[in-house]
């Protein structure tokens, strides 16, 4: 036995290790509190003083001697009732320095209950002792108001003294809260309770003109168009966006004002993310660039989607990726049954599994597998018999695929071919391919390989029970390996932030937004369509970088340098969702269009496709490029 194990320690000084060894816990300073019994005594004393004040007020400060003679016999009962009711309601157990409206409500009801009992006792005594009351009726009413007031105000006074003492010696942080609703009020109270910094809420700003000029807990409410003037003198340190689902344009406008004034802007997270339903100052986070690029939430018919996916067996390939994992979350929420999560990235798949388990979800099966392995994929289909397949597995990094076209073909072409053929062989109802805008007039190996995958799906869609659908969209905000996480990392390291070219633009869409449109397209497809999503206006990457730098509280070119590195192999300056010869047809959803793509669909058994796959399997780069060019004539290789 070790020496540590032999040490005799008091129970409160020990902590147990899994091995059974006990070691002393580090000394933790304890906060000194007033004993709970003393608070109970003080409250009871205040109740007694309130009663005496009630007598003085009732008799205009000239209480007859007879009233005192009637009071002394019942005074022990009065004190006992107040003492027992305060103890039973555990009023003395609340932390006085953190008194809240809930504490005030409990005090009010406790005092009211005691006063009602005094009224009942007075009526009983009146009829039993020939007109003598337990306490005069007016005294009971005045005593109730005085007792409630003195117990509540004494606690508020202590709280104010505590807040003043706590804030002394700390730098004051001057704050404006955007949103004068319930979330704004909760945020104000959260900041006031914070023990690490002293916050001063200078004003509320709100879009609702009906609130202008009013006050919320003593703080004035101003219209949003006055925000630039409030920030102009530079005295405000932070602006916190408290509205849970602010209008995207209003939020952008507020953030732009803050960036122009070089004011730090923060955001309150959604209520669902609050720890145990309580907001803390540590949860108030930086505004993300995703919040500025995202648009108004997409409105979809959830009932229709639920009818499409409820009870269905699903297979999601590439399930651990950014798009695949969000599809998994959404289809499970829509009632999908026994969803298969297939990916060859073990750690990422494990993280997704733990996330779902943590939410109490059990209707899924994580599978480590490679879509390029026909034997393993055949086993997956035989075991789980999926009815709907979302094929998100793909290699997507343009520069890496330029250097290894054989790997792009093996995953993006061969993998798609294998999963599509198995979907047909096993009678799946639906196959949805996740494609990319880089497949349009491709200049990269990755784009060309995805275009060939689209052509395979269009060719396979003909003459089979399985409905084959392709969805095509641009960049998703914050996806693994995208530019936003890269910029965020570079800014955290102090720069430089690297941009390929000052004129480069990209389409952006949030991950949940993209996946919702994928599910909607899947539910409306008849087979053979390529659905194109309305991505909004393209965004200049240089503008994106500058905004992210300013959001971090720094100035581009002064605090963080932006460097231009030149276009990487296979990259375009401008992305496009449709080739110039293509057009679109509308659908019932304004954000989803059907692309009129040119001919060129290929069967999975096409000689050229088989020759391309064979070249990839023997790592013949030159043959791969030549055959890809043959399959996709608009492909302009850069090597």
Per-residue pLDDT of 338-355, as tens digits, reads: 899 999 999 999 999 999
Looking at domain 171-287, its CATH architecture is: 3-Layer(aba) Sandwich (3.40)
pLDDT of 584 higher than 90: no
Between the two ends of the chain, the Cα-to-Cα distance in Å is 69
| Element holding 221 (H helix, E strand) | strand 219-223
Give residue 391's pLDDT.
95
Q: What is the mean pLDDT of the chain?
A: 79
Q: Write down the residue that tokens 């704004």 correspond to.
A: 184
- Fold matches, 171-287 and 302-631: yes
pLDDT of 23 higher than 60: no
pLDDT band at residue 31 using 50, 70 and 90 as cut-offs: very low
Neighbour count for residue 437 (Cβ, 10 Å): 23
Give residue 366's pLDDT.
94
CA 30 to chain centre: 35
Query: Cα(463)–Cα(530) distance, rounded to whole angstroms?
Result: 17
- pLDDT tens sequence across 311-330: 889 999 999 988 899 999 98
Strand 562-564 to strand 497-499: parallel, antiparallel, or no bridges (unpaired)? parallel
pLDDT of 629 higher than 80: yes
Give residue 96's pLDDT.
63
Give residue 218's pLDDT.
80
Query: Cα(460)–Cα(602) distance, rounded to whole angstroms?
Result: 8
SS3 state of residue 394: coil
Top pLDDT among 15 and 607 is at: 607
Nearby residues of 24 by Cβ (< 8 Å), 6 or more positions away: 7, 9, 13, 14, 15
What is the residue extent of each domain of the chain? 1-30, 36-164, 171-287, 302-631
**What kind of fold does domain 302-631 have according to CATH?**
Rossmann fold (3.40.50)
Percent of the chain past pLDDT 90, that is, above it, reads: 20
Give residue 596's pLDDT.
61
pLDDT of 13 higher than 50: no
pLDDT of 253 higher than 80: yes
Q: How is 363-384 classified by DSSP, letter by letter?
A: SEEEEE--TT-HHHHHHHHHHH
β-sheet bridge partners, residue 596: 583
pLDDT of 399 higher than 90: no
Q: What's the predicted TM-score (pTM) here?
A: 0.64
Q: Are 496 and 545 in contact (CB under 8 A)?
A: no
Top pLDDT among 526 and 575 is at: 526
- pLDDT tens sequence across 528-559: 778 877 666 777 888 888 888 888 777 888 88
pLDDT of 12 higher than 50: no
Strand 539-540 to strand 505-506: parallel, antiparallel, or no bridges (unpaired)? antiparallel
Provide Rg for the chain, Cα atoms: 35
Whole-number Cα distances in Å, 602 to 259, 261, 278, 456, 606: 51, 57, 56, 5, 6
Arithmetic mean of pLDDT, 462-471: 85
Give residue 585's pLDDT.
65
Arithmetic mean of pLDDT, 122-144: 75
Strand 215-216 to strand 219-223: parallel, antiparallel, or no bridges (unpaired)? antiparallel
Q: Write down the residue that tokens 């784009």 correspond to.
A: 447
pLDDT band at residue 25 using 50, 70 and 90 as cut-offs: very low
Arithmetic mean of pLDDT, 356-370: 91
Neighbour count for residue 486 (Cβ, 10 Å): 13
Give residue 273's pLDDT.
66
Arithmetic mean of pLDDT, 205-211: 86
Top pLDDT among 139 and 444 is at: 444
Give residue 230's pLDDT.
85
Give residue 519's pLDDT.
87
pLDDT of 19 higher than 60: no
Give residue 406's pLDDT.
94
pLDDT of 418 higher than 60: yes
Arithmetic mean of pLDDT, 386-395: 93
pLDDT band at residue 4 using 50, 70 and 90 as cut-offs: very low
Closest by CA position to 515, among listed 550, 552, 463, 478: 478
Number of Cα atoms under 13 Å in the Cβ half of residue 381: 21
């Amino acid at each position: 036995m070790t020496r540590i194990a032999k040490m005799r320690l008091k129970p409160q000084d020990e902590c147990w290790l899994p091995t059974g060894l006990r070691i002393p816990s580090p000394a933790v300073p304890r906060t000194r509190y007033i004993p709970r019994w003393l608070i109970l005594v003080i409250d009871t004393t205040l109740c007694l003083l309130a009663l005496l004040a009630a007598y003085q007020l009732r008799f205009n400060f000239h209480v007859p001697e007879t009233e005192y003679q009637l009071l002394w016999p019942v005074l022990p009962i009065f004190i006992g009732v107040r003492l027992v009711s305060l103890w039973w309601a555990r009023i003395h157990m609340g932390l006085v320095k953190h008194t809240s409206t809930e504490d005030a409500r409990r005090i009010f009801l406790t005092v009211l209950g005691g006063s009602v009992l005094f009224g009942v006792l007075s009526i009983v005594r009146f009829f039993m002792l020939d007109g003598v009351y337990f306490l005069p009726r007016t005294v009971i009413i005045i005593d109730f108001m005085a007792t409630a007031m003195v117990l509540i105000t004494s606690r508020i006074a202590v709280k104010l003294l505590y807040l003043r003492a706590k804030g002394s010696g700390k730098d004051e942080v001057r704050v404006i809260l955007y949103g004068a609703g319930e979330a704004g009020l909760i945020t104000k109270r959260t900041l006031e309770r914070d023990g690490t910094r002293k916050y001063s809420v200078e004003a509320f700003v709100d879009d609702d003109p009906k609130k202008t000029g009013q006050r919320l807990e003593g703080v004035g409410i101003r219209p949003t168009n006055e925000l630039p003037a409030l920030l102009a003198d530079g005295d405000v340190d932070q602006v916190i966006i408290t509205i849970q689902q602010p209008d995207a344009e209003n939020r952008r406008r507020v953030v732009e004002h803050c960036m122009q004034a070089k004011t730090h802007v923060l955001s309150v997270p959604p209520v669902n993310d609050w720890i145990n339903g309580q907001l803390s100052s540590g949860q108030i986070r930086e505004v993300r660039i995703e919040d500025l690029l995202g648009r108004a939430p997409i409105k979809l018919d959830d009932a229709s989607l639920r009818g499409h996916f409820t009870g269905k067996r699903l297979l999601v390939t590439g399930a651990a990726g950014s798009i695949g994992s969000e599809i998994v979350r959404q289809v499970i929420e829509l009632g999908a049954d026994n969803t298969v999560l297939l990916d060859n990235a073990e750690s990422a798949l494990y993280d997704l599994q733990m996330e779902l388990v943590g939410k109490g979800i059990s209707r899924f099966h994580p599978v480590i597998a490679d879509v390029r392995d026909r034997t393993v994929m055949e086993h997956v289909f035989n075991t789980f018999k999926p009815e709907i397949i979302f094929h998100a597995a793909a290699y997507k990094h343009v520069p890496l695929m330029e250097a290894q076209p054989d790997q792009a073909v093996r995953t993006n072409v061969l993998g798609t071919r294998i999963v599509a053929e198995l979907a047909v062989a096993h009678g799946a109802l639906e196959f949805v391919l996740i494609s990319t805008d880089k497949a349009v007039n491709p200049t990269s190996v990755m784009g060309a390989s995805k275009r060939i995958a689209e052509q395979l799906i269009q060719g396979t869609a003909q003459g089979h029970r399985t409905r084959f659908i392709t969805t095509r969209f641009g960049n998703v905000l914050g996806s693994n390996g995208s530019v936003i996480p890269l910029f965020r990392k570079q800014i955290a390291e102090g720069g430089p932030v690297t941009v390929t070219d000052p004129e480069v633009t990209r389409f952006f869409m949030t991950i949940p937004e993209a996946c919702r449109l994928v599910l909607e397209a899947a539910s409306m497809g008849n087979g053979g369509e390529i659905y194109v999503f309305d991505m909004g206006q393209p965004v200049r990457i240089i503008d994106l970088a500058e905004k992210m730098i300013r959001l971090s509280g720094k100035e581009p070119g002064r605090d963080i340098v932006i460097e231009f590195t030149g276009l990487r192999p296979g990259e375009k300056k401008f992305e496009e969702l449709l080739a110039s010869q293509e057009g679109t047809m509308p659908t019932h959803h304004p954000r989803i269009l059907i692309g009129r793509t040119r001919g060129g669909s290929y069967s999975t058994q096409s000689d050229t496709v088989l020759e391309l796959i064979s070249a990839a399997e023997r790592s013949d780069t030159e043959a791969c490029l030549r055959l890809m060019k043959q399959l996709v004539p608009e492909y302009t290789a850069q090597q």
